[in-house]
Chain A
């Protein structure tokens, strides 16, 4: 909805503006400052440029290369898991949150740092990032604890967490968001020579199962925008499982089968890497 979007954009700019205004307040007595009228923190009283000008890049984009091992991700395609079982995915998505980029001015946290990664979608926009040379960035797989215990109806409709987002994943009660959803079919035959015809389900969430991730990478945010590229191997998330005819080896809703949930989560760090 355009008007909500507008409000949201305004909010983002306002937050940044306030941060800059505070910074400017400390330095307003001397005549050094940002002398470029195009900059967000342009100081009309400054005479000498002190290199503090801050500009917004147009777009911060994320590009995910969704994989099933060596091949590109595709739903309903049979592949071999590490344990040798034939599997196919029918639904695969996960939340990321708390994105922050470390640049010359320290860590810059994004204004709406939530992303719902879908295995069949690679391109995402996360708003704006000030122009700078960044050396690393961090985020969490899962939803930050404050948002996790907030009402999904309270987020702007553009947010990945909003109940207006048709793909949002929430349990509908206090445990909060489902961080990771993997659904599909697996061959459970003992000889592993059948077809993938038994369901597997991983619905995993809860504050304990958030995974903090950090990536060292030189990212130059410029006016035209910047794209961060990551690989996600969805098949790797099943490493260590041995899905048999016993439903408890291939189904978890976290609380009813916490060890299987934790096993899947232990693979996240390896499944996500710089492209």
Chain B
């Protein structure tokens, strides 16, 4: 009975709508979204459990996020977009040590690669200060050393743009474009930045190619106590545990206290998020402050230059000897293996490039 009433109400509503429609020929029902099917390579887990229920992946949302990612409209003087510091060919990382903001200001951290972020459960940025991609995406816009504008200004620009008005209506059914919806769209695009089709994957996960001898020796070093990379970076999937660790680069953390700045806990001083090693060949410079420009320098650090401190991670168990003490051959093999994480398909994927004409 109740259902019948509902149906009848729906009929009345449609009839009313048709009559009303005569006066508003310019207002078609444009909010029809298409679910976006993530293409998840073998070896990576499903992303569904990590996608917020209030921001499901849609074709329209992803396309809108991509357009925003590349749009300098998000900065004060319309000179910088997200892509000004996150370059696709570099795994969406920043090849400069520190990024330059719109007025030339310089930060103190290297812009992180944007790879497989949809699975990160431990917070974003080097210190994990934002819990979700949606929260993270709000920050660079207002950061004085980045885009240096305010959300009301950006919202005003977007709402004055008829194309964006339509695209937001289509993707999110909103008449007014606000910051939270902008962040949602960008987060959707970021979730599609999936890298999982490197030579490593074709060998380890798909078993369709073989690595060469040097790479295989490097793998044994990576995955055993020899170089002992796997404890933090893992194997097979994300190639990071996304945890916060002090890897023995400094004894004094006054320049950047890392995770401590977020938690205020003494044992968090000098800890930074473990980055993924996917596409590591292309994401130089390395470490939170970009102090190493080559993989050779990175390996030298873990081999000989690990420094003890109160908060050093116990997994740096060979700190007493300065590190793993690798031979020149070991280092060469390890770097050969690390380069198998380079995913050409990801670095050149046309679906991730600038869509704006």
Q: How far is the CA of A253 from the CA of B46 in the complex (A)?
A: 29
Contact with A along B304-327 (1 / 0, CB 8 A): 000010101111111110000000
Whether B121 sits at the interface, judged by CB under 8 Å, is: yes
Q: Report yes or no: B234 in contact with A183, Cβ–Cβ below 8 A.
A: no
Q: Which residue of A lies closest to B310 (CB)?
A: A197
Whether B107 sits at the interface, judged by CB under 8 Å, is: no
Q: Which residue of B lies closest to A157 (CB)?
A: B49
Q: Report yes or no: B49 in contact with A198, Cβ–Cβ below 8 A.
A: no
Q: Report yes or no: A199 in contact with B122, Cβ–Cβ below 8 A.
A: no
* Chain B residues within 8 Å of chain A by Cβ, number: 28
Contact with A along B153-197 (1 / 0, CB 8 A): 000000000000000000000000000000000000000000000
Kindly state the interface size class of chain A when it binds its partner: 20 to 34
Q: Report yes or no: A172 in contact with B234, Cβ–Cβ below 8 A.
A: yes
Q: Report yes or no: B121 in contact with A199, Cβ–Cβ below 8 A.
A: no
Whether A164 sits at the interface, judged by CB under 8 Å, is: yes
Q: Report yes or no: B45 in contact with A166, Cβ–Cβ below 8 A.
A: no
Please report whether the interface of chain B is mostly helix, strand, loop or mixed according to DSSP.
loop
Whether A263 sits at the interface, judged by CB under 8 Å, is: no
Q: Report yes or no: A199 in contact with B225, Cβ–Cβ below 8 A.
A: no
Whether B230 sits at the interface, judged by CB under 8 Å, is: yes
Q: Report yes or no: A153 in contact with B45, Cβ–Cβ below 8 A.
A: yes
Whether A245 sits at the interface, judged by CB under 8 Å, is: yes
Least Cβ–Cβ distance between A99 and chain B, in angstroms: 25
Least Cβ–Cβ distance between A3 and chain B, in angstroms: 10
User: Counting chain B CB atoms within 10 Å of each CB, which of A4, A75, A199 scores highest?
Assistant: A199
Whether B236 sits at the interface, judged by CB under 8 Å, is: yes
Question: B237: which A residues are within 8 A, CB to CB?
Answer: 163, 172
Q: Report yes or no: A90 in contact with B267, Cβ–Cβ below 8 A.
A: yes
Whether A184 sits at the interface, judged by CB under 8 Å, is: yes
Question: B223: which A residues are within 8 A, CB to CB?
Answer: 173
A-B contacts counted at CB < 8 A amount to 56
Q: Report yes or no: B308 in contact with A251, Cβ–Cβ below 8 A.
A: no
Least Cβ–Cβ distance between B225 and chain A, in angstroms: 5
Q: Report yes or no: B319 in contact with A199, Cβ–Cβ below 8 A.
A: yes
Q: How far is the CA of A184 from the CA of B266 in the complex (A)?
A: 15
Q: Report yes or no: A199 in contact with B235, Cβ–Cβ below 8 A.
A: no
Q: Report yes or no: A201 in contact with B315, Cβ–Cβ below 8 A.
A: yes
Q: Which residue of B lies closest to A89 (CB)?
A: B314
Q: How far is the CA of A164 from the CA of B316 in the complex (A)?
A: 26
Q: Which of A1, A76, A197, A250 contacts B267 (CB 8 A)?
A: A76
Q: Report yes or no: A166 in contact with B122, Cβ–Cβ below 8 A.
A: yes
Q: Report yes or no: A199 in contact with B49, Cβ–Cβ below 8 A.
A: no
Known contacts A1-B49, A166-B121, A172-B230; A75 and B267 CB within 8 A of each other: yes
Question: B310: which A residues are within 8 A, CB to CB?
Answer: 197
Whether A274 sits at the interface, judged by CB under 8 Å, is: no
Q: Which of A80-134 contact B (CB under 8 A)?
A: 90-91
Q: Report yes or no: B45 in contact with A253, Cβ–Cβ below 8 A.
A: no
Whether A185 sits at the interface, judged by CB under 8 Å, is: yes
Known contacts A164-B49, A245-B320; A199 and B230 CB within 8 A of each other: no
Least Cβ–Cβ distance between B244 and chain A, in angstroms: 12
Contact with A along B204-227 (1 / 0, CB 8 A): 000000000000000000011100
Q: Report yes or no: A172 in contact with B314, Cβ–Cβ below 8 A.
A: no
Contact with A along B84-112 (1 / 0, CB 8 A): 00000000000000000000000000000
Q: Report yes or no: B314 in contact with A91, Cβ–Cβ below 8 A.
A: yes
Question: B225: which A residues are within 8 A, CB to CB?
Answer: 253, 256
Whether A247 sits at the interface, judged by CB under 8 Å, is: yes
Q: Report yes or no: B320 in contact with A183, Cβ–Cβ below 8 A.
A: no
Whether A65 sits at the interface, judged by CB under 8 Å, is: no
Q: Which of B121-172 contact A (CB under 8 A)?
A: 121-122
Q: Which of B27-61 contact A (CB under 8 A)?
A: 45-46, 48-50
Q: How far is the CA of A201 from the CA of B225 in the complex (A)?
A: 12
Q: Report yes or no: B267 in contact with A247, Cβ–Cβ below 8 A.
A: no
Question: A166: which B residues are within 8 A, CB to CB?
Answer: 121-122
Q: Report yes or no: B45 in contact with A247, Cβ–Cβ below 8 A.
A: no
Question: A164: which B residues are within 8 A, CB to CB?
Answer: 45, 49-50
Question: A4: which B residues are within 8 A, CB to CB?
Answer: 49
Q: Report yes or no: A163 in contact with B314, Cβ–Cβ below 8 A.
A: no
Q: Which residue of B lies closest to A75 (CB)?
A: B267
Q: 15 interchain pairs (CB within 8 A)?
A: A1-B48, A4-B49, A76-B266, A90-B313, A153-B46, A157-B49, A172-B235, A172-B237, A199-B312, A199-B313, A200-B314, A201-B315, A250-B317, A251-B317, A256-B224
The chain A residues found within 8 Å of chain B, CB to CB, are 1, 4, 75-76, 90-91, 153, 157, 163-164, 166, 172-173, 183-185, 197-201, 245, 247, 250-251, 253, 256
Additional 17 contacts, C-beta under 8 A, given A91-B314, A172-B237, A256-B224: A4-B49, A90-B313, A153-B46, A163-B237, A164-B49, A166-B121, A172-B235, A173-B235, A183-B315, A184-B314, A185-B314, A198-B319, A198-B320, A199-B316, A201-B314, A247-B318, A253-B225
